[in-house]
């Protein structure tokens, strides 16, 4: 998607070690016009998977997931990092490493919102190593729901996440695929 790629080139920053700083328009301050266009593009790509729910990770995945959900007419569930007191005792729980935080993070979803046999589409901001997405897949599996697709705004191909996730046999779609971030560059 050209608008996203152009924005990454204009306002994104390669911080080294595979870290792409996009917090001025994707995951700290959100550009709603860009997110709307991204949500529409992801919705087009997943229009035929017959999803019933969208699952994402707190917090950075919420904007693209909500916009995609708006275009598909689907509710969005996000895996929380901490269990609030309002959440029932039966939850689905796993952990995944955070690339930007350098620690393991909890991913918790209430059993109220992902049910057995639900058809779940995962949408997130990044597909890098695939480990966070795989954590979300584990939540879908714990719920005995069906994974129907995986989407992300930005893929860092050189981190191998797509290869890790292909074993699930579902469509994997990204809007901007980065092949290299060597020497401070961002190459699509």
Whether the model clears a pTM of 0.85, i.e. scores above it, the answer is yes
Strand order in the sheet with 76-79: 76-79, 53-57, 119-127, 146-156, 172-178
Q: Give the helix/strand (H/E) hosting 51.
A: none
Q: What is the mean pLDDT of the chain?
A: 96
pLDDT at 99 over 80: no
Q: What is the pLDDT of residues 119-174, one digit of tens each?
A: 999 999 999 999 999 999 999 999 999 999 999 999 999 999 999 999 999 999 99
pLDDT of residue 98: 81
pLDDT of residue 170: 98
Place of tokens 């969005």: 76
pLDDT of residue 102: 78
What is the fold of 2-184?
Answer: Rossmann fold (3.40.50)
Radius of gyration (Cα) for the chain, nearest Å? 16
pLDDT at 100 over 90: no
Q: Phi then psi for 12, rounded to 5 degrees?
A: -80, 160
Across 94-109, average pLDDT: 88
Q: Is 127 exposed, middle or buried (0-12, 13-18, 19+ CB in 10 A)?
A: buried
pLDDT of residue 53: 98
- Give me the residue spans of the domains in the chain: 2-184
pLDDT of residue 101: 73
Q: What is the pLDDT of residues 50-82, one digit of tens each?
A: 999 999 999 899 999 999 999 999 999 999 999
71 contacts 48 by C-beta, under 8 angstroms:
no
pLDDT of residue 121: 99
Confidence label for 104 from pLDDT (cuts 50, 70 and 90): very high
């Amino acid at each position: 998607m050209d608008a996203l790629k152009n924005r990454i080139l204009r306002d994104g920053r390669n911080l080294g070690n595979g870290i792409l700083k996009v917090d001025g328009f994707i995951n700290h301050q959100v550009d709603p016009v860009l997110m709307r266009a991204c949500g529409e593009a992801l919705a087009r790509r997943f229009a035929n998977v017959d999803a019933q729910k969208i699952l994402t990770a707190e917090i950075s995945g919420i904007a693209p997931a909500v916009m995609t959900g708006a275009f598909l007419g689907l509710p969005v569930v996000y895996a929380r990092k901490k269990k609030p007191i309002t959440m029932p005792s039966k939850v689905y729980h796993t952990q995944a490493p955070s690339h930007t935080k350098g620690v393991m993070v909890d991913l918790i979803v209430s059993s109220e919102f992902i049910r057995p046999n639900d058809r779940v589409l995962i949408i997130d901001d990044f597909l890098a190593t695939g480990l966070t997405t795989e954590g979300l897949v584990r939540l879908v599996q714990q719920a005995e729901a069906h994974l129907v697709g995986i989407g992300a705004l930005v893929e860092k191909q050189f981190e191998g996440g797509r290869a890790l996730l292909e074993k699930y046999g579902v469509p994997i779609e990204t809007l901007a695929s980065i092949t290299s971030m060597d020497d401070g560059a961002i190459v699509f």
